[in-house]
Structure 1
């Protein structure tokens, strides 16, 4: 009886701790949502707070967000969606093929290639910015979407993750498919990709978040105001000459929606993928 009571008490303690952590994690988002309905002048006077004054709050900021400067926010939103879609799609496709090849095929230099992948994971992105920038200039990809996507199209972390996920899949599936006359590409697309669905779900969330929140590299490559992404556009609303809170807070709230949708659609696969990706190869 004492054991059951102690177990139940520990469960309540864990639950209470998780509730506290959840509240602390959601508090900044709550501040942001409430502030998005307040006039910018009030935020300048009183700062960001949780005070809810229904008389002062309205949907005007959201209307301003989509109408000011000829709807420039919609251009930023569209650019981020396009770049994130391109980056996530190419990254998942190419990284999964490389990771699968490193896990299931034996070839000369295989261990060296995998060691290079691990080494690149340890290199800070900031070190690569200058040579990558010179490369984009030589390829005439400055101020283009492809210039933002191309340098990081194959993610070392994604390659490592797919490699670890592929290691856990028995080679018997591949051998059976070869006996039935399947080619190597058909084996990957028809057999391995469905088995790697949890890994794809996890990587889709992580890669989409990485691209959606990227600031430094798009800021370096992009030039035209119409081609800027959301992080750059929202950052431009804060200047030494004034802060456009009327657009900043509702814009930040709207920018969260695509990532939330992606996470909700891939939540189950995300949890399963993190577990499968932890298999030691």
Structure 2
């Protein structure tokens, strides 16, 4: 059984950066068995209905501007996996989760940026999933839990987003993290490590500086989904934590382990 991960994808330029976090991501991929496929929930694919990519050869989406030209030269030619997409659709429908296949969606930078670091040869099939920021935290957790059985099948589930993600509060010239950002992530870590679901589903009311850290929920949603996908084990471990530009949190959480877990 594979664990499930939440991976902060930072800025689009992460794909061409060289620092402790990118080195961590490279080593992380080497520390676990090679997955048969990857299912990735991207903060940059928003939809009112749960979408499941079903493109055989997903195109690249360069959904940003103002970054170095070399980012537009990156190509991550991972294949899709229609059989897996249909399997995901079935798992969602079994739990009463409305979903639709989408054979047009390509790979946005929430997907190809971290994956190009972790699995640069692009040989592992990738199925991307949308997020719906208007759902409740309980509903996000439920979506993740519905896909938990994929872990037994050698499928790696990743939520790609960010915990503290407020572009208006970035301080590009300050390498020191701001106190409010640190305090939010510390609160979050305590709830995840103790699997305090009651607190997490009310993070916007209970967490310090929640409105500053999560001004809009789309980047936080993948964490809740990855968290839900680890429901069988209810174990959480922070593998990396650092900051860029004063407030942009770069963290990686692992839910579950490589051991077989009891369900229900």
Q: Same fold (TM over 0.5)?
A: no
Give the TM-score normalised by the residue count of structure 1: 0.24
- Larger proportion of strand: 2
Larger radius of gyration: 1
Between structures 1 and 2, the one with greater helix share: 1
